[in-house]
Amino acid sequence: MDTEHLELTDLPQLSEAIERGAFVDYSVGLCRVRDQKLNFLGSGVLVNKGGRCGILTAYHCLHCCMPQVRLGQSGCDELYLVMRLRRSVRFQPEEAVERILAKPRSNDYGPDLTFIQILAVQRRASLEAIGSFYSLDRPPGEIAREFTGVGTPVVSIGFPEEYNTARMELGRISLRIACMQLGPSAIEVGDISEKGGWDYIETHLNESGTSGVPASFKGFSGGPVWGMKVRRHKKDRRITVEKHALIGINFYEVPSQNDERRMRAHFIKSIYELAWANMD
């Protein structure tokens, strides 16, 4: 193949390559509607696992609000999902159900994961018409071999709350919710860790000389971290994302040091295997 490995020296071109990719197709902004009031909850990613289709997100996205989100036959919350190009899909309470994967024991290490299973066939079809479901049925060891090396490019996708406005007006939903990418950056020594059997990755952003970064990563919780194989083509110097894999789900903003800000995410073993063994 007439390509060469890309060194991360040209971030603007790499960012453009990411924007041209499929990452946003999997991402959703989560809102709930109850008693004619709309609340933004956070971010999520469309996945399928063992024949179930739904949204993988952080547990606290549905449970740190008061009252907590209730879905299913006995639920009272509608879900409102915002996707690429600001398109949206609305769910009645009985059209989805929460499958709890991991209730947090602490804020900083969780574990903090939940799965919103889509029950209504027509709602799944609506989502597939706009975006895509990413399969979590791949062996985690296979993904780890490809996407855990030092220098692997990574990017986080989410819906920053700072830039969002969502409200009800005369019974109609008024939204200004935008998807944003943080990064790209690269895996560094010490970014991957394990605690209590759960594995984690920290992604980092250096604010020095960076514009347009929200003051808080609030809203990115539940959003995906993607690992990439990136190439620069020798013939025309074009940069492309050759392969990608979901490698993390963000849930915690690590206190910043100097100009560097970090997010902690559940990593490959946790989101492909361990969490599902604990599913309610």
Per-residue pLDDT of the chain in tens (280 residues, 90 and over written 9): 444 455 545 667 777 778 777 788 999 999 998 888 888 999 999 999 999 999 999 999 999 988 999 999 999 999 999 988 778 899 999 999 999 999 999 999 999 999 999 999 999 999 999 999 999 999 999 999 999 999 899 999 999 888 777 666 656 766 677 788 887 888 999 999 999 999 999 998 765 445 567 888 888 999 999 999 887 777 777 787 889 999 999 999 998 777 788 999 999 999 999 999 988 7
- Of 80, 69, 14, 61, the closest CA to residue 244 belongs to 14
Taking the C-alpha atoms of residue 248 and residue 245, their distance in angstroms, rounded to an integer, is 9
Tokens describing residue 11: 């971030």
Question: Which phi-psi region, left, alpha or beta, contains residue 197 (left: φ > 0; alpha: ψ -120 to 50)?
Answer: left
pTM of this structure: 0.91
Q: Domain total for the chain?
A: 1
- Taking the mean position of all CA atoms in its chain, how far away is CA 174? 23
What is the phi/psi pair of residue 123, to 5°?
-75, -40
Does the CA dihedral 11-22-269-158 come out positive or negative? Answer: positive
CATH number at residue 207: 2.40.10.120
Q: What are phi and psi for residue 7, nearest 5 degrees? A: -90, 140
Q: Are 42 and 159 in contact (CB under 8 A)?
A: yes
Range of the structural domain that residue 25 is part of = 3-277
